[in-house]
């Protein structure tokens, strides 16, 4: 393949490209799901193809093709050049300029002890049905569902600058869900071990069977729980809930393509504009966000991004101040950066790379503090676990989140479950209200499996780590069905 890739690059240069890369991707995915006491779907998919990306006339062109041959490579290169020339008819100024990246010749792979594609489907379904049995045995449960999904991706990227990198990774994820029905209501509760860039061992570590009965009992408890009253309350948020709040209010807001208006027509822009860099108070002084694409097991830890920039670790928010963005080689210069942070990723050979969130983590508090101590200083609040409803405006300011499980906090104690809880805030006000974060003993990684962005839409995965954190006087409830 390397010869075919180099031939494609040579032809692109001969046709006038100032830059070209060829990316081959082979991917395999397996999805296994159950519904109640039976298997629902087992789907094993694979695909293979390549994308050619060129800069010609100062503009991008891209062609993706699922047929691998010399003829198709040549056709794709010519098409990419023709597309770039068409793009250039609307060019302003000098067009696309890439910040430098050293030449890499390297191989990288994610840790994988147990290849999930070598584990029998019957064994996977067997575990899931045992969990379903435990869930359905709980009185009041009407529905039990579960899934496991695995992705294995190997890429080869060659660039006209001389880089040639080969990378591979395996992602594993699973989830159980229990739904209770009664009193004219239905409530669900789920358990999902952190999805990780690891093999089947991460599913085993997730101990699905040990959590099945617990979530079923909580689903039943939830259906009989009172609806949360509306008002200003303190929140204590679990890491597996914070993952999505971080993702929507910090991750997307600091993607530099959005900040520059390049996503305006679909996903929107960001309030965190570049004149705020280094100066804007995004959160309280204890709030630190670090992007880390070298995190072991992180879903965005891919060795290199699709610009063939090596994965890195950098600050996004330091001591509450906006300190960095997620960039690629094209937009990095807009903030005066001399190197991309390596955020350009595509969801397959057929897609052009776009800026994607890294493994973005809320760093643990520096003082020793336990979740119980966070709760002990709350008079009227809610503890939230898991992901529920989510919505945020196109500038990433006004958001509203639900959750999966809620417990009332009264006079320093976590008490009964609640249901139908939402909270709404404005991003910098919310992170500014964060007054305590548990220490590193309680820091855990969760992740997003299905982040949609781009037009045409692409999917990406990334990890978000956090420790339980407390937020004061947040607008809670007020939208319940009553």
The residues in 75-94 that bind other proteins, with binding defined as CB under 8 A, are 79, 82-87, 89-92
What are the residues facing 181 on neighbouring strands? 186
Residue 368, class by beta-carbon neighbours within 10 Å (0-12 exposed, 13-18 middle, 19+ buried)?
A: exposed
- Taking contact as CB under 8 A, which single stretch among the options 34-42, 164-172, 316-324, 444-452 is the one that binds other proteins? 34-42
- Taking contact as CB under 8 A, which single stretch among the options 48-56, 158-166, 334-342, 441-449 is the one that binds other proteins? 48-56
294/400 with CB nearer other proteins: 400
- Taking contact as CB under 8 A, which single stretch among the options 116-124, 202-210, 336-344, 436-444 is the one that binds other proteins? 116-124
**Count of chain residues binding other proteins (CB under 8 A):** 81
Distance CA 269, CA 256 (A): 9
Q: Residue 207 Cβ, how far from other proteins at the closest point, in Å?
A: 22
Judged by CB under 8 A, does residue 15 bind other proteins? no
Judged by CB under 8 A, does residue 420 bind other proteins? yes
Q: Label residue 453 left, alpha or beta by phi (over 0 means left) and psi (-120 to 50 means alpha).
A: beta
Q: Residue 301 Cβ, how far from other proteins at the closest point, in Å?
A: 26
**Is residue 250 classed as helix, strand or coil in its secondary structure?**
helix
Distance CA 143, CA 188 (A): 9
Judged by CB under 8 A, does residue 389 bind other proteins? yes
Whether a cis peptide bond, with omega within 30° of 0, leads into 226 is no
296/391 with CB nearer other proteins: 391
Within 10 angstroms of residue 126's Cβ, the number of other Cβ atoms is 12
Distance CA 84, CA 10 (A): 17
Q: Which of 6, 7, 97, 181 binds other proteins (CB under 8 A)?
A: 181
Q: Which of 343, 402, 447, 465 binds other proteins (CB under 8 A)?
A: 402
- Taking contact as CB under 8 A, which single stretch among the options 104-112, 132-140, 310-318, 384-392 is the one that binds other proteins? 384-392
Q: Residue 53 Cβ, how far from other proteins at the closest point, in Å?
A: 9
Angle between helices 208-223 and 121-136 (to 10 degrees): 30
Listed residue (214, 171, 215, 242) closest to 442, CA to CA = 242
Report how far apart, in Å, the C-alpha atoms of 224 and of each of 179, 218, 390, 482 are: 13, 10, 24, 15
> Are 316 and 288 spatial neighbours (Cβ–Cβ below 8 Å)?
no
Judged by CB under 8 A, does residue 278 bind other proteins? no
Strands (E), 283-403: 289-292, 313-318, 321-322, 344-345, 354-355, 360-362, 380-385, 390-392, 398-401
Distance CA 468, CA 448 (A): 18
- Taking contact as CB under 8 A, which single stretch among the options 47-55, 201-209, 359-367, 430-438 is the one that binds other proteins? 47-55
276/444 with CB nearer other proteins: 276
Listed residue (371, 459, 471, 465) closest to 427, CA to CA = 471
User: Which residues within the stretch 191-220 sit at the binding site for other proteins (CB under 8 A)?
Assistant: none
Judged by CB under 8 A, does residue 46 bind other proteins? yes
Judging by DSSP bridges, how do beta strands 164-182 and 105-109 pair with one another? Answer: parallel
User: Which residues within the stretch 229-268 sit at the binding site for other proteins (CB under 8 A)?
Assistant: 260-266, 268
Judged by CB under 8 A, does residue 62 bind other proteins? yes
- Taking contact as CB under 8 A, which single stretch among the options 106-114, 344-352, 377-385, 439-447 is the one that binds other proteins? 344-352
Judged by CB under 8 A, does residue 403 bind other proteins? no
User: Which residues within the stretch 353-382 sit at the binding site for other proteins (CB under 8 A)?
Assistant: 354
Q: Which of 224, 312, 424, 433 binds other proteins (CB under 8 A)?
A: 424
Judged by CB under 8 A, does residue 1 bind other proteins? no
Q: Residue 42 Cβ, how far from other proteins at the closest point, in Å?
A: 5
């Amino acid at each position: 393949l390397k010869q075919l890739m180099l031939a494609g690059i040579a032809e692109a240069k001969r046709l006038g490209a100032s830059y070209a890369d060829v990316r081959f991707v082979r991917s395999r995915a397996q999805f296994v799901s159950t519904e109640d006491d039976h298997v629902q779907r087992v789907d094993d998919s694979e695909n293979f193809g390549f994308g050619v990306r060129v800069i010609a006339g100062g503009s991008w062109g891209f062609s993706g093709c699922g047929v691998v041959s010399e003829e198709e490579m040549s056709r794709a290169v010519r098409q990419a050049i023709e597309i770039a020339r068409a793009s250039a008819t609307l060019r302003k100024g000098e067009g696309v300029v890439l910040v430098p990246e050293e030449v890499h010749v390297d191989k990288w792979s994610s840790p994988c002890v147990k290849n999930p594609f070598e584990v029998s489907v019957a064994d996977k379904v067997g575990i899931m049905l045992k969990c379903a049995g435990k869930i359905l045995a709980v009185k009041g449960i009407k529905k039990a569902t579960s899934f496991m999904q695995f992705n294995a991706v190997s890429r080869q990227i060659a660039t006209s600058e001389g880089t040639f990198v080969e990378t591979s990774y395996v992602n594993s994820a699973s989830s159980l869900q229990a739904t209770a029905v009664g009193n004219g209501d239905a409530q669900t509760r789920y358990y999902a071990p952190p999805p990780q860039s690891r093999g089947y061992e991460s599913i085993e570590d997730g101990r699905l069977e040990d959590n099945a009965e617990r979530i079923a009992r909580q689903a039943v408890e939830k259906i009989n729980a009172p609806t949360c009253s509306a008002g200003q309350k303190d929140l204590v948020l679990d890491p597996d809930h914070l993952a999505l709040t971080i993702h929507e209010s910090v991750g997307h807001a600091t993607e530099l393509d959005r900040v520059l208006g390049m996503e305006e027509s679909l996903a929107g822009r960001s309030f965190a504009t570049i004149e705020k860099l280094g100066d804007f108070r995004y959160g309280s002084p204890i709030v630190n966000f670090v992007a880390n694409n070298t995190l072991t097991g992180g879903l965005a830890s891919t060795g290199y991004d699709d610009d063939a920039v090596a994965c890195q670790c950098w600050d996004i928010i330091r001591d509450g101040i906006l300190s960095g963005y997620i960039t690629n080689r094209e937009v990095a210069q807009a903030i005066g950066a001399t190197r991309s942070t390596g955020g350009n990723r595509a969801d397959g050979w057929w897609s052009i790379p776009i800026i994607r969130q890294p493994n973005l983590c809320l760093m643990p508090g520096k003082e020793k503090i336990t979740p119980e101590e966070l709760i002990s200083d709350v008079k009227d609040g809610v503890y939230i676990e898991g992901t529920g409803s989510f919505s945020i405006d196109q500038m990433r300011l006004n958001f509203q989140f639900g959750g999966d499980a809620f417990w009332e906090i009264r006079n320093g104690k976590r008490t009964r479950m609640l249901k139908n809880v939402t909270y709404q805030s404005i991003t910098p006000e919310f992170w500014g209200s964060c007054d305590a974060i548990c220490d590193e003993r309680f820091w855990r990684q969760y992740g997003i499996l299905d982040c949609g962005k781009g037009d045409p839409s692409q999917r990406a995965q990334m990890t978000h780590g956090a420790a339980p954190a407390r937020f004061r006087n947040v607008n809670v409830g007020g939208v319940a069905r009553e």
